[in-house]
Amino acid sequence: MLGTAKSIEVGTSMITVRWRLKEFLEREAITQYQLMKLAQGRVSKNTIGSAVRNELNGVQFSTLAAIVEVLESHLGRQISISELIEVTRDILEE
């Protein structure tokens, strides 16, 4: 797993959240630079870079919505949040 996924223990599970933006961009043949240009004035270059490296500690809904909107506009199709963010659950052993 690349970057620093964020994990939290919830009851008997460990929930991990990580960005999948790097994989998404690679799959869609979009460079990080292209995304930065598309999102210029809406999402900072640093935020996009951190998301690509999976180094964000959190994200505001407005930032996530802006990323989704510029990607949808560029690709001409709707995308799902699950294409950009992955949530996994592991059962903790007692």
Q: For 35-52, what is each residue's pLDDT tens digit?
A: 999 999 999 999 999 999
CB 5 within 8 A of CB 16: yes
Q: What is the pTM of this model?
A: 0.82
What is the rounded CA–CA span in Å between residue 69 and residue 93? 40
Q: Give SS3 for 12.
A: coil
- Res 47: pLDDT: 95
